[in-house]
Amino acid sequence: MGESMLLHRLPLRVVLLLCTSVALFSIVTADIVQTTKPGCANRCGNLTFSYPFGMNNTGDNCYFKEKSNSFLIFCDDSTNPPTPYLFDKSTNITIVSTSIEKHEISIMVFVAKDCYNSSGGSSYQNDPSIILAIFPISAAKNKFIAVGCDTHAVFRGQQGSMYATGCLSSCGNISDVINGSCSGIGCCETSIPRDAYQYNISVTSYHNHVGIWEFNPCGYAFVAEDGFFSFSTGDLYNPPLNMVPIVLDWSIPNETCHDAKKNTTTYMCQENSNCTDAENGNGYQCNCLEGFQGNPYLQNGCQDIDECVTLKTCSGKCTNLPGTYDCSCPRGYRGDGRTGGKGCTPIIDRSTHVALGVSISFLLILLGGNWYYWRFRQRKIKRQREKLLSEHEGSIESARIFTDEELKKATDHYHESRILGQGGQGTVYRGIFPNNMVVAIKKAKILDRSQVEEFINELIILSQINHRNVVKLIGCCFETEFPLLVYEFVTNGTLSDHIHNCRHESTLSWRARLRIAGETAGALSYLHYDASTQILHRDIKSTNILLDENYTAKVADFGASRLVPLDRTQLTTLVRGTLGYLDPEYLQSSQLTKKSDVYSFGVVLAELLTGLRALSFERAESERNLSSYFASAIKGERLFEIIDSRVLNEGNPKEIKEVAMLASRCLRVKGEDRPTIKEVAMELEGLMKVMDRHPWVNQSCDLEEAEQLLGERPSKCDGILKSNASGNDDSISNQVPFEIESGR
């Protein structure tokens, strides 16, 4: 089990170290390819190495020779891949990696184990001792680790004199152990002293693992590269490995840097390099000078770095020099030319200074003028808002006034996740007050007088309306530059969502559609005839009809609505509305009447019957506009070919035809030929009462009649661009907001 886990850990680590080595030497200039002496190998199996390391089977001159042959690599070709050993195969020290830049070598060593059976008998496994000739164990890169719940491990070595260190690991229950923690409970670790050339590890137990044998039969200890071992509770029951990697520091032994320089024949550091005394162990190490890179132990091994290519720190002209580089500015510029320094700036004469001063002054005046205009505009808009509010103060007494801070908290500072929808006037957010009341908060998109007027217009109109089928205005906020209106939260989305989205095709039955139509017509009749001042909605469409949890209709969005004195029958206004719903007579004459709302309602009625959008560029050209398509189908006696399949399945052909003829009368081109909305509401109410008294059942004769009339009909999802998950009806392919205002 330990060998299997080792084979899984070791190749990955070797590959990573090899990749690091390749990356290190790949940045050397193109003519530097030699990392060993000419004719000498630099690879054994998966190990790539550089001089002073070398193999003896390619010549004695291929590695640095000293008394113990510490730099000799023995390559065992009998394995696949070949296995590299340090010094000799008999040492059984496998090499994992070597590094010239860091002066490190990584080898594999055994783990010391002390195992017990249920009666407390022990067996000691592996030889955890190691004796190295000239390579000290890296104190900075290794840790001494012990694992077990009844384990005392000691690390003994020699630094001229004997020394010892160790740690104690214990635990009474496996539940006490924390994965990844080596703080003494199940696992402990300590640092390695410097200048340690040999060591021996002993593992003992105080209580022979009695009482914990079931989950911790063995205690074990090892020296390993810091970060290699990650402790887990499973390691207590079964040691996961037999061998671990440790890092050794290497240097040219037995001489200090100062003494080595005195003997030029034995001094190992070649040109463009220098030596430093080893921090761990005795000896010295060679390193390339700043501005050079490569192998400092080989002749011409340290090559110049082309900083102009690798560093790119010049903003001017870069010239590579041995060990350094030079930045200069082109003619007409001055400075050091360095990206992090002064760079290059143009040399400007006095006349240029004057011109530059004038330009800067003009720019400052322009910026100041823009700032002043912006501030003036903000004040003007604020005064206009206050004037509008004061003019209609008596009309909005019933609306609650919210503070800006209240609405920010309710919407989590208008976070994107709170957006319910976006339209031409503004964005609607879902708000939650501290008393858990849920509301919808509309915030204006653009700050101008028309936007303020529209919001105040909606505020004034809704504050005068109290009808169960009109969305309720709760309050408003005018502390901010952007007007804010607070409405009741209507939970079930828009009517458009339910009749045009395939995901909702089973939501609205024929009876529910007829009821929603009647409720909408009733609300419009109230606005036209029963309100204290008659109100023309001017933008009736399926997206402005909301549905609550009981699928009760709520007419919304009164930003474009108009109050009409009782003695007036029409208003001359700028044309407002949505293409597909817009009264053609109003569009041509700009004369807004009650019959304009009747026409828009007729389009909604046609949508409820057919399931088709009011305007869709996905349909054939002759079918794009629903009102003309609907009128054409009735005229050609093809009505039942375009009726929604659910309406056909649930409705009686006679009642469907009655509603269709009502919609057709609402869609007449001349307003005087259309019924009033009160007549429409009464007719729909009468149909509902008949259905309540004499519910029509889809008998076989009705189904046969419908099937004969049905023919091939458009898909219910006709006109929907693959996905409209946002529920937003502002797509040009669906509905086009239309507004004509002179001077705007």
What sign does the CA torsion over 709, 710, 712, 714 have?
positive
**CA angle, 399 as apex, 396 and 404 as ends, to 5°?**
115
Which residue from 549, 451, 447 is spatially nearest to 493, judged by alpha carbons? 549
Q: What distance lies between CA 80 and its chain's CA centroid?
A: 46
Tokens of 262: 């005195």
Tokens of 18: 């090899």
Alpha helices in 505-573 (DSSP H): 510-525
In angstroms, rounded to a whole number, what is the distance separating the alpha carbons of residues 30 and 92? 38
Sequence-distant (6+) residues with CB within 8 A of 167 are 144, 146, 153, 184, 188, 189, 190
Q: 180: which DSSP letter?
A: T
Tokens of 171: 């635990």
Tokens of 401: 């006034």
In angstroms, rounded to a whole number, what is the distance separating the alpha carbons of residues 526 and 467? 8
Tokens of 443: 């915030």
Q: Are 630 and 610 in contact (CB under 8 A)?
A: yes
Task: Measure Cα distances from 693 to 45, 482, 675, 682, 690 in Å.
Answer: 94, 52, 26, 16, 5
In angstroms, rounded to a whole number, what is the distance separating the alpha carbons of residues 79 and 83? 6
**Cβ neighbour number for residue 40 with a 10 Å cutoff:** 17
Q: 431: which DSSP letter?
A: E
Which residue from 669, 595, 590 is spatially nearest to 627, judged by alpha carbons? 669
Which residue from 94, 204, 202, 220 is spatially nearest to 146, judged by alpha carbons? 220
What sign does the CA torsion over 525, 531, 536, 542 have?
negative
Radius of gyration of the chain (CA): 44
Sequence-distant (6+) residues with CB within 8 A of 706 are 640, 648, 653
Which residue from 597, 593, 596, 530 is spatially nearest to 564, judged by alpha carbons? 593
Which residue from 12, 30, 31 is spatially nearest to 20, judged by alpha carbons? 12
Tokens of 2: 């330990």
Tokens of 154: 């000691």
List for the chain the helix, strand, coil content (%; round to 5): 35, 25, 40
> Is 567 in the active site?
no
DSSP letters for 85-107: EES-GGG--BEEEEETTTTEEEE
SS3 (DSSP) at 130:
strand
Burial of residue 681 (number of CB atoms within 10 Å: 0-12, 13-18, 19+): buried
In angstroms, rounded to a whole number, what is the distance separating the alpha carbons of residues 109 and 243? 5
Q: What distance lies between CA 101 and its chain's CA centroid?
A: 39
Which residue from 548, 512, 540, 513 is spatially nearest to 524, judged by alpha carbons? 540
* DSSP H/E element including 203: strand 198-204
Residue among 114, 497, 539, 557 flagged as catalytic: 539
Burial of residue 206 (number of CB atoms within 10 Å: 0-12, 13-18, 19+): exposed
In angstroms, rounded to a whole number, what is the distance separating the alpha carbons of residues 542 and 528? 19
Q: 732: which DSSP letter?
A: T
Active site residues: 539
